Amino acid sequence: MTTRAHECLMRMYEEEHNLEDYQGSIPRWCTGCGDNAILTAVQRLCRDEKLRPEKTVFVSGIGCSSRFPHYMKTYGFHGIHGRALPIAEGIRLARPDLHVFVNTGDGDCCSIGAAHWVHAIRYNMNLTVVVHDNHIYGLTKMQASPTTPRGLKSKTTPRGAFLEALNPLTVTLGIQNVSFVAQAVDWIPELVYDIISKAFHHKGCSFVRIIQRCPEFLPELLDPWMNDPNRTLLLTHENGLHVSAALGKVYKNRQEHDPSSLNRARELASSEDPIPVGILYHDPAVPCYEDVRAIAQLRTPELIQRGLDAELDKFTVWPQEDAAEARP
């Protein structure tokens, strides 16, 4: 075997990954929690896209979904409440060579992190943002979140939530520079994978809301939609979602939707019944902030080390003999 062929085979071996290469610690989510379906889809995506674990980062805030980085055998940053997006943006600016994912919840993103959510969409940095929306604060044991339906009783709203639920899709579609908005439901895992895959391949801030079950605190909330396929509207298009023949036999309520139409995307996003599933909006022409900012040089580990050494040298006290030798 020639050296060139040997190097080629070694490179192929190094770039080949299995699911186990991305599986971190054993998930501690409840049985039936939608987070499990999302985790499986993301791990499959990493395998299929041959993402190098050392070049992939998952960032989260606080909440059930924010355990995500612990379950991925990649780099991860488990941040503080509502701050996943600015942390991810900092990583993206410092290391644009990395694949950066954000996993956040309806409370983490749409409540304490709302300001960061707005500006992340506006800056349109190349991030894949997945919002795990179970309509409740689950980690802290059932408090109302911004997406809690009106009338639903929780520990903070014992008489029922007074306000109409916030719609993350319509809010996102109203922000300047929005470039990619999609929605999935955790009980159709095939489409969870397809939609996250589309989001990953978009250059810009991909905002994916995934409506998911909370079997511990809201076990029956989504049953009407799960048990009636006609209450799910699949959005299909040559530039959007493609429905397999097997899935099409079950989910027959489908609509052709051009994701380049912002006005139509806003109309569809306003629907709660049926739930629209697919790519609502996609505009690849919106520039990314990191490109507009025109970073001239990657901040590689070597570059960072040289910068640190240069700063530390300013405060270094050299031994007397070295100083004497340095004199002319």
- For the chain, the average pLDDT equals 90
Summarised one tens digit per residue, pLDDT across range 3-19 is: 565 565 455 445 678 88
CA dist., res. 271 & res. 251, Å (int) = 17
Structural domains in the chain, CATH included, are: 21-293 (3.40.50.970)
Residue 42 vs residue 157, higher pLDDT = 42
29 closest CA partner among 62, 58, 71: 71
CA dist., res. 273 & res. 63, Å (int) = 27
pLDDT at 71 over 70: yes
pLDDT at 189 over 90: yes
pTM (two decimals): 0.85
Summarised one tens digit per residue, pLDDT across range 99-126 is: 999 999 999 999 999 999 999 999 999 9
Query: Are 258 and 237 within 8 A, CB to CB?
Result: yes
